[in-house]
Chain A
Amino acid sequence: MAVTHTEVYRKFKGGIARHPLRFFPLFATELSVATRRKLPLILLYGPVAIATIVTCFIVYAKFALQAGVPDSSNLQAQLAVGMASSMLQVRDLILQVNGIMGGFALLAMVWYGSGLICEDRRAKAHLLYFSRPLTRLDYFLGKFCVAAFFGAIAVVVPNFVVCTMAVVTSPEWSFLKEQSDVIWAVFLFGGIWITTMSSLVLAISSLAPKRVFAMVGFFGLIMVLEVFIELGVKVGNVEQLQYLRLTRNLGVVGEWLFTAPGADAPEDVTQCALGVAAWVALSLTVLAQRLRRMELAS
């Protein structure tokens, strides 16, 4: 008789919990695997980090100039105050940095998010997940949090660091007292941006057979849409088509969120917000369908 297997099976004496955050282990492991390779992290987040440091320095310089010269009758002090006031407001700085760094943020999110679902499907790993007490919502949340995490590092964290610098360096906490709405705007805009982009990246990932196709698909979709919308607006004179421009819509919504209280909001912010909501709804619908298929028709 065969006597080759020599290990003993051990019974598990612990318990199986029914905790509500079932998605968390999936999120944690995906994150750990994604961050294993350091080069993409450095390449994608290096420019964002540099931009954040530069912006922080500008904010520091602005408030240092204001705070460092108490005697405003002095000519030098007047010059310094004049320079400081002529520098951009923190809210405008953040908007500008967002505009410049948006591409990197998008690239980072697409890089880390595009393989999240399609690679599972390709390897049929979803069979292992869905044969466990994991619902489609748990699976979605696990994947969404990964994409959102990488988006947050590129969008929310730098802006929050800039705000923190402004709070700390502003004389007598003036930034916190007078412009605290900027901090809320940072989180709100970050939330909208991350939700929109993560949903879209995951939706395209759920449709693509491979990660590289998902990446090409995402940028292809944005670019092709831009061309068609431009044609529609210029040639067909259909102005409403521009509300399908995702990046523009997000820009307008961001501009509105960072608008100083009392100042005029962009005219078409409602349409742009609806445009963003439509994209999110479309992405989530696609995801719901695809995940259902992954679980039930696998």
Chain B
Amino acid sequence: MGALAMVELEVPRRDGAVAGGREPTEPVVLFEGIVKRFGRVRALDGLTADVPPGPVGLLGPNGAGKTTLIKVLLGLLNTEAGSARIAGLDPSRRADKIALRRMVGYMPESDCLIPGRTGIELVATLGRITGLAKADAMTRAHEVLDYVGLEDQRYRPLDQYSTGMKQRLKLAQALVHDPEFLLLDEPTNGLDPKGRRHMLELVHDLGHEQGKNLVLCSHLLPDVEKTCSHVVVIHRGKTAAAGVIAEMTGDEAHSVDVQVRGSGPDFESALAADAIPHAENGLGRYRLNLPADQASADRVFGLAENARCTVVSIEPVRSSLEEVFLAALREGEASA
């Protein structure tokens, strides 16, 4: 058993920086005009994107090309055009491919586990294949299995593992060599709410506390929102949107929610007299079409004072990642 500690799930800071104090710097992964076809289907259609350090979500609907992109990054797929770079290494070059696979941990979407082996055997073997010494591989296998919460199941054959255990085991094998980069392909697939929560906590911990550069592939927006500070939205093999989640969701803060105590009709009249578009949400709550800045706040406080009301709260209205995502998809479809 590993030492006990409390790891608290926290929301990424709004400025996109992560808890460890690391600020976004140079991109660690670069895609430049990647084209990949499967027959007539263009899975990646000239995709260009920069992935900064830290936890980054690769978001897109099913079939958008997320898994294809991950495989291109690992050198598991050749591209028709374009180039990819991870920490300066080109996965299409043989020598670079081997070098980059030493520093990348990959958690595939599919099960990938051969029945008949135990969890500890699989993780230790994959550690050895990566280049760990026999003793190190076994020690690491125990450590990472402890970390993902499989300490009691490590000697069970893989065919007796539940879906949640398999997902955690896949994460453990990706971590066995303590890689700098983690590529996690749909880590919460098939998990029940408890398992999903646990997995997201692990991913959050790795990205925010352990300082891993991780790319989380998912079509589940809440997963990305909870664990990542940056997002790259892919749609039909192209980058539909990319940036710091906080900035992307904050871009739409052109309105504020205000709650007042006192004479509602007077406050509403004051708003109308000042030509501020607004909507009443009941119980003294109003949504005002004002930019979320200090000048607007001063204006609202002034109007409330004139209407003999007290401002209880004033909050900028931010759009959710879902709204940003859907807007990006709409834009992508419109441009296509």
Residues of A within 8 A of B (CB): 1-12, 14, 16-19, 22, 25-26, 29, 32-33, 36, 119-120, 123-125, 127-135, 295-298
Contact: A16 with B5, CB < 8 Å?
A: no
Indicate which residue in B117, B129, B131 contacts A26 across the interface (CB closer than 8 Å): B129
In the complex formed, the residue of A with least CB distance to B185 is: A127
Q: Can you list 24 A-B contacts with CB-CB less than 8 angstroms, sorted by A residue number?
A: A2-B8, A2-B9, A2-B201, A3-B7, A5-B149, A5-B198, A8-B147, A11-B178, A12-B140, A16-B177, A25-B125, A124-B110, A125-B112, A125-B113, A127-B106, A127-B112, A129-B129, A130-B76, A131-B101, A131-B104, A131-B106, A132-B101, A133-B101, A133-B129
When distances are taken between beta carbons in the complex, the residues of chain B under 8 Å from A119 are 114
User: From B110, which residue of chain A is reached at the shortest CB distance?
Assistant: A124
Residues of B within 8 A of A22 (CB): 129, 131
Residues in A whose Cβ lies below 8 Å from that of B210: 9, 11
Query: Which residues of B lie under 8 Å from residue A14 when comparing CB positions?
Result: 132-133, 136
Identify B98's interface contact among A29, A33, A127, A135, CB under 8 A: A135
Give B212's nearest chain A residue, CB to CB.
Answer: A9
Which of A22, A120, A128, A296 has most B Cβ within 10 Å? A128
* Cβ-defined contact, B129 with A25, below 8 A: yes
A33 in contact with B117 (CB, 8 Å) = yes
Given contacts A7-B151, A131-B104, A296-B76, 15 further A-B contacts (CB under 8 A): A4-B198, A6-B5, A9-B205, A25-B125, A29-B121, A33-B116, A123-B115, A125-B113, A128-B126, A129-B126, A131-B101, A132-B130, A296-B78, A298-B71, A298-B76
Most B CB atoms within 10 A — which of A5, A33, A135?
A: A5
Residues of chain B at interface, number, CB under 8 A: 59
Of A3, A9, A29, A297, the residue contacting B8 (CB under 8 A) is A3
Q: A residues within 8 A CB of B74?
A: 130-131
Q: A51 vs B136: C-alpha distance in the bound complex, in angstroms? A: 43
Provided the pairs A8-B147, A26-B125 are in contact, do residues A16 and B197 lie with their beta carbons within 8 angstroms?
A: no
Residue ID in chain B nearest A1 by CB atoms: B8
Taking CB atoms and an 8 Å cut-off, the chain B residues in 1-54 that contact chain A are: 2-10
Please report the C-alpha to C-alpha distance between residue A154 and residue B130 in the assembled complex, in whole angstroms: 32
Contacts of A295 in B (CB 8 A): 76
Q: Is the pair A9, B147 in contact by a Cβ cutoff of 8 Å?
A: yes
B133 touching A17, Cβ below 8 Å: yes
In this assembly, does B272 line the interface, its C-beta being within 8 Å of a C-beta of chain A? no
Q: Nearest-CB distance from A64 to chain B (Å)?
A: 46
**Residues in chain A near residue B143, CB distance under 8 A:** 10
Decide if A123 touches B112 in the complex (CB within 8 Å).
Answer: yes
Contacts of B116 in A (CB 8 A): 33, 36
Q: Chain B: residues with CB nearer than 8 A to chain A?
A: 2-10, 71, 74, 76-78, 98-99, 101-102, 104, 106, 108, 110-117, 121, 125-126, 128-133, 136-137, 140, 143, 146-149, 151, 173, 175, 177-178, 197-198, 201-202, 205-206, 209-210
Of A11, A29, A298, which one neighbours B125 at CB under 8 angstroms?
A29
Tell me the bound Cα distance from A7 to B78 in angstroms.
Answer: 39
Whole-angstrom distance from the CB of B135 to the nearest CB of chain A? 9
A297–B38 Cα distance when bound, in Å, is: 10
The answer to whether A6 and B6 touch (CB under 8 A), given A123-B111, A127-B108, A295-B76, is yes
Q: Is the contact region of chain A dominated by helix, strand, or loop, or is it mixed? A: loop
Residue numbers in B under 8 Å from A7 (CB-CB): 2, 4-5, 146-149, 151
Kindly report which residue of chain A lies nearest to residue B38, judged by CB atoms.
A297
Chain A residue, CB-CB nearest to B70: A131
CB atoms of B2 and A10 under 8 A apart: yes
The chain A residue with its CB closest to the CB of B118 is: A33
- Asked, given contacts A131-B106, A132-B101, A295-B76, whether A12 binds B178 with beta carbons under 8 Å apart, the answer is yes
Closest chain-A Cβ to B123's Cβ sits at a distance in Å of 10
Given A12-B140, A14-B136, are A127 and B110 neighbors across the interface (CB < 8 Å)? yes
Decide if B205 touches A12 in the complex (CB within 8 Å). no
In the complex, which residues of chain B have a beta carbon less than 8 angstroms from the beta carbon of A123? 111-115
Given the interface pairs A7-B147, A12-B136, the reply to whether A1 lies near B10 with Cβ below 8 Å is yes
Contact: B104 with A17, CB < 8 Å?
no
Please determine whether B111 and A3 come into contact, CB atoms closer than 8 angstroms: no
B116 to chain A, nearest CB (A): 6
Alpha-carbon separation in the docked complex, A110 to B142 (Å): 35
Q: Which residues of A contact B140 (CB under 8 A)?
A: 12
Among A3, A11, A120, A125, residue most surrounded by chain B Cβ atoms (within 10 Å): A125
Q: How far is the CB of A205 from chain B (nearest CB, A)?
A: 14
Instruction: List, in ascending order, chain B residues with CB within 8 A of A8's CB.
Output: 2-5, 7, 147
B5 cross-chain contacts in A, Cβ below 8 A = 6-8
CB of B190 to closest CB in A, whole Å = 15
The chain B residue with its CB closest to the CB of A129 is: B129
C-alpha spacing A12/B133, complex, angstroms? 12
Q: How long is the Cα–Cα vector from A134 to B75 in the complex, in angstroms?
A: 12
Cα–Cα distance between A29 and B126 once the two chains are bound (Å): 10
What separation, in Å, do the CA atoms of A130 and B114 have in the docked complex?
A: 15
Q: How far is the CB of A121 from chain B (nearest CB, A)?
A: 11
Chain B residues with CB under 8 A of A12: 132, 136, 140, 177-178
What 10 pairs across the A-B complex have the smallest Cβ distances?
A12-B178, A25-B128, A16-B131, A131-B106, A29-B125, A2-B9, A5-B201, A124-B110, A133-B98, A14-B136
Q: Which residues of chain A come closer than 8 Å to B202, judged between CB atoms?
A: 5
Given contacts A130-B76, A296-B76, A4 and B201 within 8 Å (CB-CB): yes
